Amino acid sequence: MRGTVVKLGLVLAAMLLLLSTGSVATATPATQAGEYSSDDFAYESKCRQCHAIIYAEWEGTMHFNAYLDPFYLEEVKIASEDTNGSLDEFCSRCHTPIGVVSGEIPPIDGSEMSDIAKLGVQCDFCHVVSGSNGTGNAQFTVTPGNTKWGPFDDARGNYHESEYLELFTQSEYCGMCHQVINPVNGLVIDDTYSTWKDSQYAEENVVCQDCHMTEGITQFKANPGRAGSGAPKRDHIPLHDIVGANTLIPPMFGAENVADMAVERLQKATIMDISAPETASAGDEILIDLSITNSGAGHKIPTGVSEIREMWLELTVTDANGDIIYNAGSVDADGNIIDAKVLYNNVLADIEGKETKSFWLAESVLEDNRIGPKETVTEEHSFVMPENAAYPLTVQSTLKYRSAPQDMIDKLLGEETGVPVVDMNEISAIIYDPSTPADERNQPESGSTSTPGFSALTAAMVLGITMYILKRK
């Protein structure tokens, strides 16, 4: 009974979204739980025989991990308990789609799951998608079997039949899962697709695949090559290292390369600016404006489970002796963020209006501090210039990102799991003694923008220093 209510809710929520975006050309009915058996799907090891490069790109990404992700497994256990199992199928439909359409999950503990269902979002799920009933809440139609659907209308191969489906080249394909709506109350809890749809990118037809399935990161970049052994040469072969911002989970599966790609992506997402006085005297009130522009992401940053993600600015002012005059947003030894002015994320509230990160219990949005595509936000800091500071002062600000609060991961995965803090961008300025002649007041090179024209220091950090793990006791 409860399941039926939830299912109805799912359909309703998807219909509402369809009405508001009007995107999908021809809707096909979503595949129901238990319609197929897991034996109907082919193991990725089969596809790997001919599509070895694609396999290597996909391995270790969050699609590969979508079910075995320990953060997901802990959270879904809690969600299941909180809702008496009524959301089990809902959550699993995106995180283990084969598990759901083969009726192997629920039970949510995974005790009846085949090995293939545990492989998350995989080759022979994504390429047997033969249609969709719209964006949001995984309204996919799958037809497992010998035909593989994809982006080419002239694919040649003899192992399987190939069929062209335009959906593969559109954001609506990704939007099936990257738009999550609470089936009980209709609250949108992941709006990646809809924030893209409302942006300039959608108007200019820059789709998810352009940034996430090419090396362009912030735009389309062709990748000439072959799709597999025996396949013809083509002007563009979409890549399968579909990476976002997660640096916590991929290394747990030995995929440091995926975390490195996430760091690179985060570092291309923004432009920063700073406004600080060129000179100041003791007793002056110093105002520093820092601005962040979402210049590179086709949706808000952060996006996805953005009530869990954390982005913030650290600002440190030091004098010539290295003494700290002002600091906001540093991370202490326990992983707590100290005095950040703004936490750029989404704040959800439960039925009592209390803040919650358990999005399945959310009833409303308390605050949304994320930065929309092409949007610029500014935060202001102020302090009083002390008497005995040694000139000049260095003002240094770094934009930080992490996948989850440290205390949340401490509780779920144990205190030995340090959540990496990524430096996304940085900017600095110098404040001089008013007696310094104007022509001797040099400002740092990075004085206006940093990414994509990154400073040498940051470029060096891409090589791995950026992703420092907090030293845990």
Supply 451's token pair.
Answer: 């990414």
Is 286 or 301 the residue whose CB approaches ligand HEC more closely? Answer: 301
**Can you tell me which of 237, 292, 421, 431 binds ligand HEC, judged by CB under 6 A?**
237
- Report strand pairing: 355-356 vs 346-349: antiparallel
**Can you tell me which of 23, 37, 143, 152 binds ligand HEC, judged by CB under 6 A?**
152
User: Is 144 a binder of ligand HEC (CB under 6 A)?
Assistant: no
**Can you tell me which of 17, 177, 409, 431 binds ligand HEC, judged by CB under 6 A?**
177
How far apart are alpha carbons 379 and 6 in whole angstroms?
A: 42
**Can you tell me which of 268, 381, 400, 402 binds ligand HEC, judged by CB under 6 A?**
268
- State the minimum distance, in angstroms, from the CB of residue 18 to ligand HEC: 14
User: Is 220 a binder of ligand HEC (CB under 6 A)?
Assistant: no
How far apart are alpha carbons 348 and 189 in whole angstroms?
A: 9
- Bond from prior residue into 97 cis (ω within 30 degrees of 0): no
**Can you tell me which of 33, 79, 105, 276 binds ligand HEC, judged by CB under 6 A?**
79
User: Is 159 a binder of ligand HEC (CB under 6 A)?
Assistant: yes
# of chain residues touching ligand HEC (CB under 6 A): 102
| Footprint on residues 299-358 left by ligand HEC (CB under 6 A) | 299, 301-305, 309
**Can you tell me which of 266, 290, 385, 421 binds ligand HEC, judged by CB under 6 A?**
266
| Footprint on residues 107-126 left by ligand HEC (CB under 6 A) | 121-124, 126
Residue tagged 């879904």 (tokens): 76
User: Is 186 a binder of ligand HEC (CB under 6 A)?
Assistant: no
CB atoms within 10 A of CB 93: 23
Task: Find the part of the chain contacting ligand HEC (CB under 6 A) among 84-92, 105-113, 315-323, 454-462.
Answer: 84-92
- State the minimum distance, in angstroms, from the CB of residue 423 to ligand HEC: 13
User: Is 137 a binder of ligand HEC (CB under 6 A)?
Assistant: yes
- State the minimum distance, in angstroms, from the CB of residue 457 to ligand HEC: 21
**Can you tell me which of 55, 312, 344, 454 binds ligand HEC, judged by CB under 6 A?**
55
Residue 378 parent element (H or E): strand 376-384
User: Is 400 a binder of ligand HEC (CB under 6 A)?
Assistant: no
Is 319 or 426 the residue whose CB approaches ligand HEC more closely? Answer: 426
**Can you tell me which of 100, 104, 132, 201 binds ligand HEC, judged by CB under 6 A?**
201
**Can you tell me which of 30, 242, 280, 389 binds ligand HEC, judged by CB under 6 A?**
242
User: Is 49 a binder of ligand HEC (CB under 6 A)?
Assistant: yes
Say which residues have a Cβ less than 8 Å from residue 126's Cβ, sequence separation at least 6. Answer: 63
Cα dihedral 407, 409, 415, 421 sign: negative
User: Is 269 a binder of ligand HEC (CB under 6 A)?
Assistant: yes
How far apart are alpha carbons 59 and 363 in whole angstroms?
A: 36
Say which residues have a Cβ less than 8 Å from residue 218's Cβ, sequence separation at least 6. Answer: 211, 268, 269, 295, 296, 297, 452
Ramachandran category for residue 226: left, alpha or beta (phi over 0 → left; psi -120 to 50 → alpha): beta
User: Is 228 a binder of ligand HEC (CB under 6 A)?
Assistant: yes
Residue tagged 């995926």 (tokens): 258
DSSP characters over 12-64: HHHHHHHHHH---SSB-PPPPTTSS-GGGS--HHHHHTT-HHHHHHHTTSTTT
How far apart are alpha carbons 168 and 228 in whole angstroms?
A: 18
User: Is 370 a binder of ligand HEC (CB under 6 A)?
Assistant: no
User: Is 419 a binder of ligand HEC (CB under 6 A)?
Assistant: no
435-443 contacts at long range (C-beta below 8 A, 24 or more positions apart): 436/279, 436/391, 436/392, 441/278, 441/279, 443/278
**Can you tell me which of 168, 326, 432, 454 binds ligand HEC, judged by CB under 6 A?**
168
- State the minimum distance, in angstroms, from the CB of residue 154 to ligand HEC: 7
How far apart are alpha carbons 28 and 47 in whole angstroms?
A: 26
- State the minimum distance, in angstroms, from the CB of residue 179 to ligand HEC: 7
Task: Find the part of the chain contacting ligand HEC (CB under 6 A) among 12-20, 59-67, 428-436, 442-450.
Answer: 59-67
Say which residues have a Cβ less than 8 Å from residue 416's Cβ, sequence separation at least 6. Answer: 472
Ramachandran category for residue 120: left, alpha or beta (phi over 0 → left; psi -120 to 50 → alpha): left
Is 130 or 303 the residue whose CB approaches ligand HEC more closely? Answer: 303
